[in-house]
Structure 1
């Protein structure tokens, strides 16, 4: 009786490594500290260690849009924008053109969006998380048609963003000193603003030290969102009523206890219109970038507008 030979098991071919094309801001603080060439080598080694292939290019901010658009046009790679929250904000109009998931590599000081995407830790740890991440659909907001990914504000928040940029140039040796300097000046020089607000058919007039509009709720610790696809804008009105109260409110923002502040009123909706009563051009911040704007500010939600690689689920 002949022996029957068991058929050989067929093994599935290994999936090819992910290929990324990283377009980065050469003016990002992390890049300037290390030098573009050395930093590029570090990133290439980190992608290789994570089992991915990457082409990396750091450019002047004025050249980012055209090179990112070329990366998006190559279907063989995953386009990645590397930089801080402001750099990502500026790239959103181009990223929205991509029919495929895109990547974010956070290289800024605060990295609000990077933390929400689970891209934390050292540069190597962020790259490893990006390489193993999966696409999620995240909501965006718009202000008069301009997209933003996390938050926009006026009053204390816009002054803080302006002072932070000034402090970073004045104290390049220490981010902690720069942040403390910016916070102190913002607390001292914030002046109340009178704002008309229309939300959900309701009209109200408020006097506040700050108004902040966020894409979904920053309801988790350390200024993080538990959902990226919650389908709502959250509007926060902060009226501290004095210098000492403003200092306490600023401290609560740093410690993460700001949502329970007694001087804070929070509302939700898919659209809100804010109009300054003084009719002047006021400073408005978009994901850390600051512009002067006149007239009404119309905020709208763009549900699930961007497919992005995340190392966390849409809801945590």
Structure 2
């Protein structure tokens, strides 16, 4: 079984190990499980073309390697693919990788890819912007921005970078005012964060038992003071956030969000932060992408 592995050469895991050493480790891991792999390390701007070429080769299984942001960036290519694509998670959080059962060491993840099965995934669209797992504003967008800043300041330690980003996010989060429109109804909320997830994160440690349920889950976090915000942030890290008394959640197949406190605010898409103005119309593309998972379609 032959794989073509397209790797983001700027992924933190690659930079930490060195590109040649990392490529050799990936190739050796595939070989250990009876699979061959052609490794293509490419800069972020060339990922689309490299992945398209890998998908076009019907004699090999295409694999894209990178963090949640890397996967987010190639979603237009995945939407056009008419075959399953493997994902090798190399990021810090790896929300999608964990949902696919790709956990543990790099070698264990590659073993799971070699033994995995295709599953279908819903994809979200916000106006003309795609995302595969979650989109948020308030605390979540600030956390994503602070994490990128901390990575540059502390490239030698992901743990330190994450701790610094979390601390600064807790200290500097300010309430946002958001109008929420669902099924012809509207309400205005003041909250520390609003998070939209594709399907329900119903398992521990940010896990979705189903990726093709055809629904959004909208979460409104109103933690209040600094101490409550600290507790809420710790619950986000520990994966117990859905049981927080400060959280209100509901399901819908579409939702529209409008920031009312600023003309243009930050919003995160799978950890990538942008500034957006006006209405944010969330719509689903059901079962739009096929990927390779190390677990069944639903649990």
**Deviation of 1:138 (Å):** 1.2
Q: Which stretches of structure 1, 4 residues or longer, exceed 3 Å deviation after superposition?
A: none
- Corresponding position of 1:261: 244
8 Å Cα contact 1:69/1:94 also seen in 2: yes
Of 70, 83, 88, 2:66 maps to 83
TM-score, normalising length: structure 1: 0.93
- 155, 161, 165: which one aligns with 2:144: 161
Q: Does 1:236 align with 2:219?
A: yes
Deviations 1:34-81 (A, max 9, x none): 111111111111111111121111111011111111111111122111
User: Which stretch of structure 1 is more off in the superposition, 89-98 or 252-261?
Assistant: 252-261
Q: Which residue does 1:63 correspond to in 2?
A: 46
Shift of 1:279: 4.4
Query: Who is 2:199 aligned against?
Result: 216
1:144-201 per-position Cα deviation (integer Å, ceiling 9, x unaligned): 1322111000000000000011111111222111111111100111111111111122
Q: Cα RMSD over matched residues?
A: 0.9
Match of 1:252 among 217, 229, 235: 235
1:39-188 pair list within 5 angstroms = 39-188=22-171
In structure 1, distance between residues paired with 2:108 and 2:190: 44
1:230-264 deviation line (CA, Å, top 9, x unaligned): 21100000111111111110011112221111111
Task: Give structure 1 stretches of 5+ with no counterpart.
Answer: 1-17
Cα deviations by residue, 1:249-296 (Å, 9 ceiling, x for unpaired): 001111222111111110111100000113421111010111111111
- Secondary structure of the equivalent of 1:96? helix
Per the alignment, residue 309 of structure 1 pairs with 292
C-alpha separation in 1, matches of 2:270 and 2:5 = 21
Q: Distance in 2 between matches of 1:223 and 1:237?
A: 16
Q: Which structure has the bigger radius of gyration?
A: 1
Aligned residue pairs total: 299
Q: Which runs of 5+ in 2 are unaligned?
A: none
Tell me, in whole angstroms, the C-alpha distance in 2 between the residues paired with 1:158 and 1:178: 16
Q: Alignment partner of 2:80: what SS?
A: coil
Secondary structure of the equivalent of 1:136?
strand
Q: Distance in 2 between matches of 1:239 and 1:279?
A: 18
- Post-superposition Cα deviations, 1:205-247, rounded to whole Å, max 9, x if no partner, equal 1111100000011110111111111211000001111111111
Offset of residue 134 of structure 1: 0.5
